[in-house]
Amino acid sequence: MNYSRIATLAATVLIALSTAGCASWNQMSHRSKSMVTGAGIGGVAGAALTGGVLGTVGGAAIGGVIGDQIGKR
């Protein structure tokens, strides 16, 4: 696989997941919304700080946990 094919596939998956997420957002609890938001922010922060996939996944996991805990309130 070349880079352009991978980028096209990643963009397609991202659009599909975004659309599915928007469709189910209203049925989510406040705690779930906080968790998803935290995971998104954490993933972006992890990618910016490390520049790698592992940092992105780690940031998303940590952000999701923090968002979940904040959403309890």
DSSP string of 1-70?
--HHHHHHHHHHHHHHHHHHHHHHGGGS-HHHHHHHHHHHHHHHHHHHHH-SHHHHHHHHHHHHHHHHHH
Q: Are 5 and 34 in contact (CB under 8 A)?
A: no
What is the domain count for the chain? 1
Domain that holds residue 53: 3-71
Q: Model confidence over 48-59: pLDDT tens digits?
A: 888 888 888 898
Under a CB-based contact definition with an 8 Å cutoff, are residues 71 and 30 in contact?
yes
* Amino acid occupying residue 13: V
Q: pLDDT at position 1, please?
A: 61
The model's pLDDT over 18-46, given as tens digits with 9 standing for 90+, comes to: 777 666 777 888 888 888 888 888 888 98
